[in-house]
Amino acid sequence: DVKVTQSSRYLVKRTGEKVFLECVQDMDHENMFWYRQDPGLGLRLIYFSYDVKMKEKGDIPEGYSVSREKKERFSLILESASTNQTSMYLCAIEGTVNSPLHFGNGTRLTVT
């Protein structure tokens, strides 16, 4: 069974803090993704990576960066957290043709 683990289920940070969201997978997949989800806006792609040390901007990369130093780990970084980054953050990996994305159970981040 595919396992995608996000390091924190709930996180509260202050404005201006540097925030790291970690995602670890156990399936040796190349493709990893970070989304945020907000009411009324659906899932929006922040960044993705097709291999170690590779990264691609998604639809809303502003205010975020990522790191992929090892294949199994994909980190999302908020360099200076702001209140408009309060959201649910979801990491996903690409599975098989018939099961294209497996999600972690999400990190609910609150920036105060």
Partner 1 sequence: RKEVEQDPGPFNVPEGATVAFNCTYSNSASQSFFWYRQDCRKEPKLLMSVYSSGNEDGRFTAQLNRASQYISLLIRDSKLSDSATYLCVVNMQGNTPLVFGKGTRLSVIA
Which residues make up the interface to partner 1 (CB under 8 A)? Answer: 33, 40-43, 45, 48, 50, 58, 88, 90, 97-101, 103-106, 108
Whichever of 90 and 109 has its CB closer to partner 1, that residue is 90
Judged by beta carbon, residue 35 or residue 78, the one nearer partner 1 is 35
Rounded distance between C-alpha atoms, residue 16 and residue 106, angstroms = 22
- Rounded to a whole number of angstroms, the minimum distance from the CB of residue 100 to partner 1 is 6
The answer for residues whose C-beta is within 8 angstroms of residue 109's C-beta and 6 or more apart is 11, 12, 13, 19, 21, 81, 85, 86, 87, 88, 89
Least Å distance, CB 78 to partner 1, is 20
How far apart (Å, rounded) are the C-alpha atoms in residues 24 and 81? 22
Least CB distance from residue 88 to partner 1, whole Å?
A: 8
